[in-house]
Chain A
Amino acid sequence: GQQLNQSPQSMFIQEGEDVSMNCTSSSIFNTWLWYKQDPGEGPVLLIALYKAGELTSNGRLTAQFGITRKDSFLNISASIPSDVGIYFCAGLRGSNYKLTFGKGTLLTVNP
């Protein structure tokens, strides 16, 4: 099946640092989504991207839809302890509402 390669698998950073993670695929996606999962909770949508080249921000988070439609990245600026969690990218193709998820990036922020 389709796969999304998400990297890095984990990150351990100091509070205040910026973070960058990305997802790549061999397939084209029409929509890219970024979710965050807090420990013990279900994933929550952070940002949705609909057009190639689109750059969207949500507070300290910025995400971009790659020009080739095969990749996306997420940046978090000035990290804080509550940014801890697992970040997932997900892709959607056409009118198929089944999302393909990356394996996640585990972020740890040291106060």
Chain B
Amino acid sequence: NAGVTQTPKFRVLKTGQSMTLLCAQDMNHEYMYWYRQDPGMGLRLIHYSVGEGTTAKGEVPDGYNVSRLKKQNFLLGLESAAPSQTSVYFCASSDPGGLRQETQYFGPGTRLLVL
């Protein structure tokens, strides 16, 4: 099992450009999440999904869109990047029906710099 993987690992964008971050998990988890991590702010939830075809807003959803067309993939899109979106983005997944249902498994992160 690869667990949770994220692509790309690092990206530099210019203000106004768009991009999509891809998260994939091979654990057949139902729930998936996107967080951003900024210095001194901890992890903040952007969007999450409780199943294929469903998405919901988290704590800081503005400027982001997501899609969960396949159970194993969760995409995070930035339509028009802004410098305030410079951050490290983490994807996570969890299995609500599993023994450790509260455990979220995290990917290695995507470092995004918006100039």
Contact = CB atoms under 8 A, between A and B. Distances in A.
A43 B41 contact: no
Closest 4 CB pairs of A and B: A42-B106, A103-B42, A101-B43, A101-B42
Given A41-B109, A98-B58, 19 more contacts: A6-B42, A33-B102, A33-B103, A40-B108, A42-B92, A43-B90, A43-B106, A44-B106, A45-B103, A45-B104, A92-B102, A97-B94, A97-B96, A98-B33, A98-B45, A99-B45, A99-B102, A101-B43, A104-B42
A31 B42 contact: no
Interface residues of A, number: 21
Contacts of A40: 108-109
Contact of B43 (A9, A43, A48): A43
A59 interface: no
Interface of A: 1, 6, 9, 31, 33, 40-45, 48, 88, 92, 97-99, 101-104
A103 B40 contact: yes
Interface residues of B, number: 27
B31 interface: yes
Contacts of A102: 42
A13 B92 CA distance: 31
Contact of A88 (B33, B42, B58, B94): B42
B68 to A, nearest CB: 15
